[in-house]
Amino acid sequence: MARPLVECVPNFSEGRNLEIIEAVADAIRKTSGVKLLDVDAGTSTNRTVYTFVGPPDAVVEAVISAAAVAKSKIDMTKHKGEHPRLGAMDVCPIIPVRDVTVEDCIACANKIASALATQLSIPIYLYGSAASLDYRRTVPQIRAGEYEGLKDKITTQQWKPDYGPAAWVPEWGATMVGVRNFLIAYNVNLLATKEQAHRIALNVRESGRGPNAPGRLQAVQGLGWWLDEANMAQVSLNLLDYKITPIHIAYEEVCKDAKELNIGVIGSEIVGLIPLDSILEAAEFYIKKDNLFVLEEDQKVTLVLSRLGLKDFDPKKRIIEYCLEDSNSDNSLIKLTAEKFVLSVGARTAAPGGGSVSAYVAALGAGLCTMVGLLTYGKKQWESLDSITRKIIPLFHKKMMELLLIVDADTNAFNDYMKALKLPKTTEKEVEIYESEIEKGLLRAINVPLNLAETINSSWPIMKNLAAISNIQTASDLQVGAKCLETGVLGAHYNVMINLKLLKNENIKEKLTNKTKDHVIVAEKRCREVLDVIRTRI
């Protein structure tokens, strides 16, 4: 099973001294259980953003270790930089990544805050979902007045820290620890003045120029600044919720204002990491906008890097899902080589079994359909069909990816059922829980192959259309693909039926029996139709 993971992105007020930057990074790196994904230092901002992931307890330990190093090496009385700041470790957000809740992250934030206050005697404010007071919910609210204004602010009752001394600690300032959704720190580069960049930031950020003059983009913070080392200005944006304002929309809006001011846009940059789905959403935007045909994930990523001018962006190091890819630590079947998958099926274990194999075979069938479409599209002799194949190919490619996911889903459902079988049943209450969990486990084990059959059967109309127009040299590939899909449905049916025998609820049993039999009838009929279409063309 996958480990629970949280992401932590502490921002330290030091971006120039490489020795200090590396010392903080090393403290994180040496913490057992965490993986340091990125270190992003800025000289003009005099700030370094560290990104790492790990189980909650390991993340707490890493933050405390990094803060202890910063306490001994950073002196805020000497700090100057373009970026607003409150303390040596300015902000420390905790973000849920996998198998953790927001409540888990809040508990993690409180552990960090308590430990920092106790061990390092520094003031801590909680923000975001961990905030104790509404007027302290956002970073700008707490950071108002910045480090210089904290001296008087911290001694008031209104701004008493959540943890630590309500006293001025000049060499440190104060730290904000919070819980938030994934934030994208995004900068657009301009050949402009600092003032022009800031004017654009005011136009697009949600708060705009104040309550009576809001900006255009929701869930966006922003300001404009000048980078001496790059001899350019930037519109620096925090996308607080990229589901509300995606990265490509932020870029397009800045470009729109820059064009009106006759300002040159020379690309953009992402600070830290970014979720894969935000990149793929941007890809779909530009594919639709320019009527492109781009199918593969890596090509979509390349398209976005080009459109947004992300010149120094390494997807393997900056897209969080790619950073977390390792040597199949989660035992995912679809990440195994073909040889290892077959050997795992042939091992003396009940899983992976027929359900996973059925999904795998069906995925191969959808893959063959995708291949046939691609070998038809873009060829001069089939050019008149391009508009049709451009619609068909993505549908089969999507089916292929959906079917691959079911390979693991089937084995996971079986493993969950086996866990339920091991529950204690010595007392009446335990027996009641045992029987309930067994029934739930069986239903999960039944629903996965049912979903497989439904996914496959929704493919037949598309496949029939493809069979009628595809490159005739690929006829045998399509025939094999059709039989693979039919086999997938038959395999799903067999798995449903064997589990239905153990189900106690007779009404559900009858309903699901009829449903799976119907799926087989549909698959056999539709497969024959596809094969008949191909035969008439050979």
Supply the residues annotated as catalytic. 83, 410
The answer to whether 174 and 186 are in contact (CB under 8 A) is no
Query: Tokens standing for 164?
Result: 């630590």
Beta bridge partners of 239: 184, 220
Which two three-digit tokens encode residue 136? Answer: 């302290």
Q: For residue 6, list its beta bridge partners.
A: 54, 96
Q: What angle in degrees, to the nearest 10, is found between the helix axes of 460-469 and 506-537?
A: 0
Which residue has tokens 């039999």? Answer: 517
Torsions phi, psi of 241, nearest 5? -150, 100
Contacts of 207 (CB under 8 A, 6+ apart): 214, 215, 221
* Strand 184-191 with 220-227, pairing: unpaired
109-148 burial: b if 16+ Cβ within 10 Å, else e? bbbbbbbbbeebebbbbbbbbbbeeeebbbbeebbeeebe
Contact 455, 491 (CB under 8 A): no
Nearest-angstrom CA–CA distance, 186 and 313: 12
Residue 224 phi/psi, 5-degree rounding, is -115, 140
CA gap 337, 343 in Å, rounded:
10
CA distance 180 to 455: 35
Q: The tokens 């969990």 sit on which residue?
A: 437
For helices 354-374 and 460-469, give the axis angle rounded to 10 degrees: 30
Write the CB contacts of 185 (distance below 8 Å, at least 6 apart in sequence): 49, 236, 237, 238, 239, 270, 271, 272
Nearest to 409 by CA among 463, 351, 339, 361: 351
In angstroms, the CA 460 to CA 275 distance is 33
Is residue 235 within 8 Å of residue 215, measured between CB atoms? Answer: no
- 61, 26 in Cβ contact below 8 A? no
